[in-house]
Amino acid sequence: MIYSLDKINEMAEGDQDFVESVISVFLEEVPTDLEGLENALDQNDFIEAYKLAHKIKPNVDLLGMEEARKAALEIETLGKNNGDKDRIMAMFPILKNDVQQAIQELTADFDL
């Protein structure tokens, strides 16, 4: 599995509704944000890329997706500073692939 529920379960203290709520938010918001991030990068809109990476980062962090969190953080930092586009474009596929895999796994594991 690409994700881990350890952080969410610790926060939830046994509240399964909370866990499912966090997962639902991930499934509803992150795909749209990821698509927006890809569009922003295609248009060289680094400020929008920064904003969307900033929004995605805590969602992947909550699910223990460390590589995706690192990629989002790097995109966020570089986007905020109009940084190295080649580096941003190298990090985006890591984030995208991890998020897509998590969506598939979460959809299969939870009936939401």
Locate the domains of the chain by residue range.
6-109
Residue 96, pLDDT above cutoff 90: yes
The pLDDT of residue 112 is 74
CATH value of 6-109 in 1.10.10, 2.60.40, 3.30.450, 1.20.120: 1.20.120
Residue 78: how many CA atoms within 13 Å on its side-chain side? Answer: 18
Q: Identify the DSSP state of 1.
A: -
* 65, 5 contact by CB (below 8 A): no
The whole-model pTM stands at: 0.91
Rounded CA-CA distance 1/93 in Å is: 18
Whole-angstrom CA distances from 82 to 16, 33, 40, 103 are 41, 19, 13, 29
What does the alpha-carbon distance between residue 67 and residue 39 come to, in Å, rounded to a whole number? 21
The arithmetic mean of pLDDT across residues 58-85, rounded, is 93
pLDDT over 90 (residue 94): yes
Q: Mean per-residue pLDDT for 79-100?
A: 92
Mean pLDDT of 79-93: 90
pLDDT band at 81 (very low <50, low <70, confident <90, very high): confident
- DSSP H or E run through 107: helix 85-109
User: pLDDT tens for residues 14-44?
Assistant: 999 999 999 999 999 999 999 999 999 999 9
Percent of the chain at pLDDT exceeding 90: 91
Instruction: For the chain, give the percent of residues with pLDDT over 70.
Output: 100
Up-side HSE of residue 57: CA atoms within 13 Å toward CB?
Answer: 15
